[in-house]
Chain A
């Protein structure tokens, strides 16, 4: 029943996402194949919708992986410095190798992201005080440190405004031919699903996972690699999309529990629904202009995160 409902909502939002926009496209005038509406449809709307779905799914699943590894419900790319590390990587790529290809920049972002994730995990292991709130606080501070280092270089090369603005999540510049890198997240999603049982075991803690016969360090590394690749690819294509990897897994685990083999599909579809919804809102709120989705989702996501954490604390 719930699955059917989610699927219907998803399909509805996909259709909306294909229709809504400045260029008026109705399903009727598809009669002539080469008119401008169809062109817009193929070059902009379809890639945009695909990119949105992939980003939504990728980020939500990254959130799940990070939460399983860190044993904390409030760790996500936003609250562990991952997004800031990717930003720093892209900045470094731009400064040292200007004019490099997208793929190369993504590689740079990936190296920085995975190093930051590993460093964060090392810090987590050494900290005794592992309360629910303390870890995300630590992660956000860690992100601030990385952002501070980024600002040092950005100021020096006089690109502060660029750095602050061009990495705000925004799908309006997604066009056929420049978004294909985001497909990298697709195989990672499949890998995650195949290893869902192992990830569930990771979420039981290091000792438990080991006694269940899991190669703990290997799977932590695989998980972090998947997360870093996904986040870097999305960062290059669309920019930073905060909070998504945080809210979706939390909603799903409230309703469907923590058996990932069961709950991962819901996480994926809910992530796609949420990001499509926010993107459509960003497109119509100051029509015919657009607000970047990074802003919409920060406001919606930030507020729902606060509601969530206060509820969790009340029942905990």
Chain B
């Protein structure tokens, strides 16, 4: 049953990927093919890190509707982008070299998360919900600031730079992709070693402590991995708020298991299906009139509401 379903997901993922890669190649297949290969690599990478970080985060927080990306991470990122745009407003060159921008964004987000965790974990026992609420409130404040900055930006400038505010796989810097791949893969491999402990943790905090899990340490390690993954994937392609919720929950529903190695694998595969399929739709059906992040946020958002209304045991 479980194996069959995972094989099914693998088959669908391979199918979607090959449709994306091999159809509608146009008149110069080699060029299109190499462009698509870069995008595909980025999409696989992002899907896996968002799949991993969302499932692990939901285990730590013992709920199914929250993901790291809503904890103020993305609003910090967007605020930062808007600030850069505003400061460089009117200059003809691209605001910041994408390298510098990338490195700044990553450090800013990791710094933000570290301050949040340090400030709160130092006090001792702090509920994860409290942490989340603080993140969300800060997010609202940052969004208001962003709105104010956007108010000041010249509309022409804004229309040029709008793309930096939405996730996009269309112009990914290959050098950055290389660095990100190395870092993300190492966090994923490192993260694979704590999966069996997370299985125990999903029994609940008290049981896990009783069974000999060092709770604080496990949570801290997991949060560290998640932070790095979210920071890098957001800085690489931009914010996709509801992707994590969507793929993690679909994976729980589809796979009849509580073992993290399967649920995370499922989330990654479903992520690949959604992201690659979504990108295909954006490129060929919507003619770039929308972006992948908007599309996924709509689908994911509606799924989220249905999930809330239907489910009684979140």
Contacts and interface: CB of A to CB of B under 8 A. Distances in A.
A152 B241 CA distance: 13
Contact of A144 (B134, B147, B301): B301
Interface residues of B, number: 49
A120 to B, nearest CB: 9
Contacts of A292: 148, 151
A146 to B, nearest CB: 8
Contacts of B165: 160
Interface in B62-113: 63, 65-66, 70
A160 B145 CA distance: 16
Given A129-B314, A155-B166, A295-B145, A122 B129 contact: no
B256 interface: no
A130 B96 CA distance: 46
B314 A295 contact: no
Contact of B308 (A123, A136, A155): A123
A165 B151 CA distance: 5
B140 interface: yes
B199 interface: no
A308 to B, nearest CB: 11
Contacts of A142: 305, 308
B151 A137 contact: no
Interface stretch (B21-29, B153-161, B213-221): B153-161
Given A151-B297, A161-B158, A168-B151, A156 B290 contact: yes
A313 interface: yes
Interface stretch (A93-101, A174-182, A222-230, A298-306): A298-306
Contacts of B312: 126-128
A302 B140 contact: yes
Interface string B138-150: 1011001111101
Given A152-B294, A294-B144, A138 B133 contact: no
A148 B242 contact: yes
Interface in A70-117: 78
Contact of A148 (B145, B151, B294, B311): B294
Interface in A275-316: 291-292, 294-295, 298-299, 302-303, 305-306, 309-310, 313
Nearest to A139: B136
A141 B206 CA distance: 28
Contacts of A78: 140
Nearest to B158: A161
B14 interface: no
A161 B141 contact: no
Nearest to B313: A128
Contacts of A194: none
B136 A127 contact: no
A131 interface: yes
Contacts of B153: 161
A164 B304 CA distance: 23
Nearest to A78: B140
A145 B301 contact: yes
B294 A136 contact: no
Interface string B148-181: 1011010100110010011000000000000000
A64 to B, nearest CB: 20
A144 B70 contact: yes
Contacts of B133: 133, 136-137, 309
Interface string B180-196: 00000000000000000
B137 interface: yes
Nearest to A309: B133
Nearest to B146: A164
A292 B130 CA distance: 29
B79 to A, nearest CB: 12
B132 interface: yes
Contacts of A155: 166, 290-291, 294
B314 A140 contact: no
A302 B141 contact: yes
B82 to A, nearest CB: 10
A309 B130 contact: yes
B41 interface: no
B118 interface: no
A294 B129 contact: no
A8 interface: no
A208 interface: no
A273 to B, nearest CB: 21
A245 interface: no
A291 B166 CA distance: 26
A164 B150 contact: yes
Contacts of A242: 140, 144
Interface string A186-211: 00000000000000000000000000
A82 to B, nearest CB: 14
A138 B291 CA distance: 26
Given A161-B150, A306-B137, A145 B145 contact: no
A134 interface: yes
Which residue of A123, A136, A148, A156 has the most chain B CB atoms within 10 A of its CB atom?
A148
Q: Which 10 A-B pairs have the closest CB atoms?
A: A145-B301, A298-B144, A148-B297, A165-B151, A133-B129, A302-B141, A148-B301, A161-B158, A295-B148, A168-B147
27 contacts: A122-B309, A126-B311, A127-B314, A128-B313, A133-B132, A137-B129, A137-B133, A141-B66, A144-B70, A144-B241, A145-B242, A148-B242, A149-B298, A152-B294, A158-B159, A164-B147, A168-B147, A291-B148, A292-B148, A295-B147, A298-B141, A298-B145, A303-B141, A306-B134, A306-B137, A309-B130, A313-B127
Given A78-B140, A243-B140, 19 more contacts: A123-B305, A126-B312, A127-B312, A128-B314, A131-B129, A137-B132, A141-B66, A148-B300, A149-B302, A161-B159, A164-B147, A168-B144, A294-B147, A295-B144, A298-B140, A305-B137, A309-B133, A310-B130, A313-B127
